[in-house]
Amino acid sequence: MRHPASRHLLTLFVLVCVASGMTVRNAVGTELRMTPIVKAVQGVKESIVNIHGHKTISTASAIGDAPRQVNGMGTGVIVDERGYIITNQHVVEGVRRIQVTLNDGTTYVAQLIAFDEKTDLALIKIDAEKALPVVTTGTSSDLMPGETVIAVGNAYGYENSVTRGIISALHRTVQVSDTQKYYDLIQTDASINPGNSGGPLLNIDGEMIGINVAVRVGAQGIGFAIPADTVMEVASQLMSIQRLDAHWHGIVGETKFVNGVASFHVKSVEPNSPASLCGIQTGDVITAIDDLEVCRMLDVERALLDRETGEEVSFKVSRGEGDEKSMSLVLQGQGAGGNYVDAAWELLGIRVQSVPSNEFRANNSRYRGGLRITAVKAYSPAARQQIRVGDVLVGMHEWETISVDNLEYILKSDVIAQKRPIKFYILRDNETFYGDIAVANYRVR
């Protein structure tokens, strides 16, 4: 004879087992669903933004080009916690009011800081009330055709759309229009649709290895991205303290990867620069600036941005095996040529630095020297003449521009005072280009 309590205990035991089984199955199921792709997207989604706004375009009509308003949309990635965002230049070009929406739904109005037409990259900034998460960046130097990649973006206005595919090929050259040609692109079959432009292409580890830029119209499964190493190099130029703060450091460096670990190596140091004066040497490995770990040139610019002239900044440097040094760099205004820095920025829209004479000799240049363009102001006279970061200014009017003193003399000359366009000569990829550049209204003191 069974006791009634036994039946209740058996029922309770069955219920506990069932409940426990369901819990185990749910845990296992959740773990299985958390694939590397899911983890990659979750790790980066907070640093991806949606970009939208209105721009005016011209459409052909029977009576000529008729302007009309269209909705612009795209994607961007946060590269600095203060609200600096990298996207495609064509995403923000002509947009009257750039709006940026974060992953949490908060929307801000953004300011266009700088852009580079050659690479179709732009830097914009929002003023958020908090520190923003920065995208984790890998390297595009070791990519393999066939490896899995993930594209994230604002496809057709559907925010945070995720697609996956593989790397189909590397080093592609793509002509998308009469005026825009891309070089060294990553080709992928991950779906890249309108609105994805400016968004990240990720590897399976959740690192950004490219910025999505283009899709071959009419072709299925053919999209392209700008390699991350190119993006970071251009971002460092767009965000340089020479451009944004009129400061300088004098460091030229490169990122090297060993077993997937990045380190920043000093290639050269400008004579009499703040870096030279504090003791930084060619071959040094800069590991940190204050509390910011340094792996790229962009990290150097980020660490020195928004500082005061004369401020001391702590550098940690590795020089040989086990030789760690701490140095204090004192920030200076760019050069000592009076206010030529402001004048060049306001009159022409450029910032420059001297090119070492040995660099010209190494390239068998017919010029004695020049000034490398380190920054170009958006919509300035220089930008309208398609002068780019990296160009070398070798002459203006009838004068050479070997040193900053030469440029200061030209900017104070009667030729500039007359406000008429003057001839300029630049060196780009060992070819000379020239044109006539107008000057803006600015009084040189």
CB crowding 268-283: b at 16 or more within 10 Å, else e: bbbeebbbbebebeee
Distance CA 187, CA 196 (A): 15
pTM: 0.72
Given the residues 52, 80, 116, 120, select the one marked as catalytic: 120
Q: Give the CATH number of the domain where residue 408 resides.
A: 2.30.42.10
> Quick one: 351 and 432 in the same domain?
yes
* Contacts (Cβ under 8 Å, ≥6 apart) of 193: 153, 155, 156, 161, 215
> Quick one: 355 and 424 in the same domain?
yes
Q: Is residue 23 part of a domain?
A: no
Annotated catalytic, 141? no
Quick: pLDDT tens for 340-371: 667 888 889 888 888 877 777 676 567 888 99
Residue type for position 15: L
Annotated catalytic, 90? yes
End-of-domain residue from the set 206, 232, 258? 232
> Quick one: 321 and 344 in the same domain?
no
What pLDDT is stored for residue 177 in this prediction? 77
Q: Give the CATH number of the domain where residue 156 resides.
A: 2.40.10.10
Q: Is residue 348 part of a domain?
A: yes
Given the residues 140, 161, 168, 197, select the one marked as catalytic: 197
Enumerate helices (H) and strands (E) in the chain, giving the number of each.
Answer: 12, 26
What pLDDT is stored for residue 197 in this prediction? 92
Give the pLDDT means over successive 10-residue stretches in the chain (445 positions): 51 49 60 92 96 64 38 88 96 88 95 87 92 96 96 89 96 85 94 91 98 75 94 92 80 90 92 92 95 96 92 93 89 62 82 79 74 83 86 90 86 78 88 86 48
The string of DSSP letters for 208-222 reads EEEEEEEE-TT-TT-
Whether the Cβ atoms of residue 356 and residue 363 lie closer than 8 Å to each other: no
What pLDDT is stored for residue 9 in this prediction? 47
In terms of residue numbers, what domain contains 261? 240-333
Given the residues 90, 168, 236, 299, select the one marked as catalytic: 90
Annotated catalytic, 120? yes
Distance CA 41, CA 193 (A): 18
Q: Is residue 388 part of a domain?
A: yes
Q: Is residue 367 part of a domain?
A: yes
Q: Is residue 406 part of a domain?
A: yes
